[in-house]
Amino acid sequence: MKQAALGLALLLAACGGSAAPANTAPVSSAGASTTQAAASGADSFEAVKAAAEKSGNVLWYDTLAQDQGDKILKAFMADYPAMKGAKYLEIPSGQRVARVTQESRAGGPTADVDFMSAAGTVSYQSQGFLMDVDWKALGIRTSPDMTPNSYMVAVTAPMHGIYYNTKKVSEAEAPKSMDDLLDPKWKGRMGLWSRFGEQMTNYYTIWGEQKVLDYTKKLVQQQPKQFDSNFTIAQSVGAGELDVSYTTYHTTLPTTEKGAPVKFNPPDPVPVSPLFGYVLKYGQYHDGGKLLLHWLASPKGAQVYEDVSGRGNPFLPETKMAKMIGNAKTAQIPVDVAVKEAEKINKLAADVDRIISGK
């Protein structure tokens, strides 16, 4: 993954523009849980570690390839050998939310740990799916961005952009901006994620709600093919089944590293979507979930996750992504805005998905 990290550095450097450090605006207390204090004693690192290691189990859902998740957990278990029952389950992006929702509404069991956008995490909390955790007592480095409330902690962030097949599209004609994707020549030649709304909300605070919707209506006229997984999109571009796509950078790495004739163009500003981890109330091993999140939110765990997956934590200065983002303009919703306006943002994402699907 060293080559992949270097490639990401070059991609972001190519975006140019003035520096735009990670958002550090304070978060309204409205986003915090009133039960945080009650969780403090039970959430001390030593208490959580002892309880987690007693069972030795944790179940984690993510969209990473199974071998990537297994590799990350292997490093986690090297630090915590008693966690012999730690398991990872790969679930495609388009299916994971439905699965967690269905399992939680049924009262479990479901995963202990999962990741989501800030707005999506707020939605889970409103449905009673999440546990409150005292992140400071757990030993996690706290900040308004890293730990905006008692049920979410920043773990990673995918970057989005344009991925194309170099045998079918020359570098000169390849789309380099969101507007370029609207060129009629790409009609029927493009692939998009079925949950494209999550990607388009990156432009919520830059474009405004109406422009996001107007853009989507124009893009749907291009007759894009839809995919449940961004990994599948990358594979289709690499195989020449698609000419261009809008997808996530880290999901393109397996295809790129296999030598497929492909290239990734990040738009300017670079779209970045922070993801937050949480402990699911209807999981079976809450302490195992807390211990895994403690590790993923640490500099070591974050760096392991980044080296394996190609996406890092923008709020931990030790990660490559945090260093790279400091030199590039980014399109992302500030965390405090995502928490305060979660309902509006989630509705916008759903509206975009309906437009794309034609429903």
Residue 303, amino acid:
Q
Q: Are residues 169 and 253 in the same domain?
A: yes
Residue after which a domain boundary falls, among 245, 271, 297? 271
Total number of domains constituting the chain = 2
Closest by CA position to 328, among listed 247, 269, 261, 254: 269
Q: Are residues 264 and 297 in the same domain?
A: no
Q: Supply the Cα-derived Rg of the chain in whole angstroms.
A: 20
What count of other Cβ atoms lies within 10 Å of the Cβ of residue 5? 18
Residue 339 tokens, joined: 């928490």
Q: Are residues 53 and 145 in the same domain?
A: yes
Q: Is residue 3 part of a domain?
A: no
Q: Are residues 55 and 128 in the same domain?
A: yes
Q: Is residue 20 part of a domain?
A: no
Q: Is residue 343 part of a domain?
A: no
Pair 118, 148: CB distance under 8 Å: yes
Residue after which a domain boundary falls, among 271, 289, 313? 271
Residue after which a domain boundary falls, among 246, 271, 296? 271
From first to last of its 359 residues, the chain has per-residue pLDDT tens of: 444 443 454 454 443 333 333 333 333 333 333 334 345 568 999 999 999 999 999 999 999 999 999 999 999 999 999 999 999 999 987 799 999 999 999 999 999 999 999 999 999 999 999 999 999 999 999 999 999 999 999 999 999 999 999 999 999 999 999 999 999 999 999 999 999 999 999 999 999 999 999 999 999 999 999 999 999 999 999 999 999 999 999 999 999 999 999 999 999 999 999 999 999 999 999 999 999 999 999 999 999 999 999 999 999 999 998 987 877 789 999 999 999 999 999 999 999 999 999 87
Q: Are residues 221 and 232 in the same domain?
A: yes
Q: Is residue 33 part of a domain?
A: no
Q: Are residues 146 and 277 in the same domain?
A: yes
Q: Is residue 17 part of a domain?
A: no
Q: Are residues 102 and 239 in the same domain?
A: no
Q: Are residues 186 and 124 in the same domain?
A: no
Q: Is residue 61 part of a domain?
A: yes
Q: Is residue 23 part of a domain?
A: no
**pLDDT on residue 74:** 98
Q: Which residues pair with 190 in a beta bridge?
A: 244
CATH of the domain at 173: 3.40.190.10
| Cα–chain center distance at 34 | 27
Q: Which domain holds residue 248?
A: 160-271
**Main-chain dihedrals φ then ψ at residue 234, nearest 5 degrees:** -60, -45
The model's pTM is 0.84
In the block, which residue shows the tokens 């990872």? 88
Pair 160, 242: CB distance under 8 Å: no
Q: Are residues 58 and 149 in the same domain?
A: yes
- Angle at the Cα of 232 (from 234 to 169), degrees rounded to 5? 30
Residues in the chain: 359
Q: Are residues 291 and 153 in the same domain?
A: yes
Q: Are residues 50 and 142 in the same domain?
A: yes
Residues 6+ away with beta carbon under 8 Å from 63: 90, 91, 92, 93, 96, 229, 230, 231, 251
CA distance 203 to 177: 13
Pair 148, 49: CB distance under 8 Å: no
Q: Are residues 116 and 47 in the same domain?
A: yes
Q: Is residue 167 part of a domain?
A: yes
- Environment class of 98 (CB within 10 Å of its CB; exposed 0-12, middle 13-18, buried 19+): exposed
CA distance 119 to 117: 5
Residue 11 tokens, joined: 């991609």
